[in-house]
Amino acid sequence: MAFPPHPNEESSPTPSAGLLEIDLAAIRANYRLLQARLGQTQCAGVVKADAYGLGASRVAPELHAEGCRHFFVAHFDEALALRPVLPDDSTLYVLNGLTRDAVGACAQAAVVPVLNSADHLAAWRAEAARLGRILPAVVQIDTGMSRLGLAPAEVRTLAQNARAFEGLDILFVMSHLACADEPARAANAEQLANFRAGHDVLASHSAFARARRCLANSSGIFLGQDYHFDMARPGAALYGINPLPGRPNPMRPVVRLHARVIQTRAIPRGVHVGYGYTFEAPAPVRVATLSVGYADGWLRSLGGRGTVYLDGHRLPILGRVSMDSISVDISSLPEGAVGTDARVELIGDHQSVDQVADAAGTIGYEILTSLGHRYRRIYSGEARA
Ligand SMILES: *Cc1c(COP(=O)(O)O)cnc(C)c1O
């Protein structure tokens, strides 16, 4: 069956959920902006979860081209995958630390674990002894969030044990802020004080002779210089997510996302749309079904709440989000204006990642990391194109 051509038609419609465009030049500009804000402080790059869903193997070399030499991932496997795409002057850190089966491989690959517990510490020390080498590490201390890192009492005990860090070269003492995106929270200053105190306890130990300090994530950078220390670890802001919720976004948008119209119809008053019949037309409605669903990160919580845009017109989502499609109200557009294969904006000039997240009742981080692999991806703005 031949489809009639339509003015909105993508020049080469692809059989995918849609088009995900990732602007690498914008990621580099965001890195430069953060580095400028940090002054003498090193700006690392957090590229865990495939660089927040945007493709770590494409993103990490771009950050390197801007001078980034420190890369953080969550799991050892993520570090291994990135090793070949990064020049040898880069250091890869594993935030979640060591797992028993990866200790040897971690040392072999010269990946730096973040030691979060006394168990991690003992395993890495044993590996250093086995190899007869000094092994590099980051030590994380818990300053309030109770997620990862040595508790204050453990820090004190270990600092008094001359052999606790034997064979290790501690590159950084790090911690993580729980409320950096809420600058008014007292927790920020409390964590800052706990971080300084924890570091001071450890600093007397000989393994910490070279140790520097690393605390801030994206939002933490904007809490001011007190939070910068020697290195910061931004992720979200690099990818265009607003590090200052409720205030103007200083970052450049990185992602554009379009889906296609796969069918249109007109329904009379009283007819329903989607699973559960949750939408009932209060009047005649024209409906377009789009090629994106919750399996593509268009979260189910956007049902009846989210919107998309076509030629600048706001189109509300009708009813529930399906796995592979959503339905939107196109009644505000002239009849016949929306044809099959028309391109619809999900993220772009009219709607930011953060706005989609707001509508879904979540944060931009979850939107980006949920996008998945059914979109055709187009990267633009490579440093060495
Ligand atoms: C994810 C993560 C970051 C990056 O946080 P953003 O808010 O994305 O900048 C930094 N540090 C740690 C420990 C993390 O887990």
Q: Where are the domains of the chain?
A: 24-239, 255-380
Q: How many CB atoms within 10 Å of residue 277?
A: 11
Q: What is the pLDDT of residue 318?
A: 98
Q: Which residues have a Cβ under 8 Å from the Cβ of 35 and sit 6 or more positions away?
A: 43, 66, 67
Q: Which atom of ligand 1 is nearest to the CA of 238?
A: 9
Sign of CA dihedral 298, 300, 306, 312: positive
pLDDT digits (tens, 9 = 90+) for 82-124: 999 999 999 999 999 999 899 999 999 999 999 999 999 999 9
Domain 24-239 has CATH 3.20.20.10: yes
Pocket flag, ligand 1, residue 243 (CB < 6 Å): no
Judge contact between 110 and 84, C-beta under 8 A. Answer: no
Can you tell me which atom of ligand 1 is nearest the CA of 365?
8
**pLDDT, position 204:** 86
Q: Is 181 helix (H, G, I), strand (E, B) or coil?
A: coil
| Rounded (5°) CA angle 81-138-191 | 115
Rounded Cα distance between 133 and 125, Å, is 10
Q: What phi and psi values does residue 291 have, to the nearest 5 degrees?
A: -85, 25
Q: What amino acid positions are annotated as catalytic residues?
A: 48, 275
Q: Which residues of the chain have pLDDT under 70?
A: 1-14, 385
Q: Answer yes or no: is the C-beta of 235 below 6 A from any ligand 1 atom.
A: yes
Instruction: Tell me if the domain spanning 255-380 has CATH number 3.40.50.880.
Output: no
Three-state secondary-structure class, residue 140? strand
- The predicted pLDDT at position 14 comes to 56
**Cα(178) to centroid of ligand 1, in Å?**
10
What is the C-alpha end-to-end distance of the chain, expressed in Å?
40
Decide: helix, strand or coil at residue 362.
coil
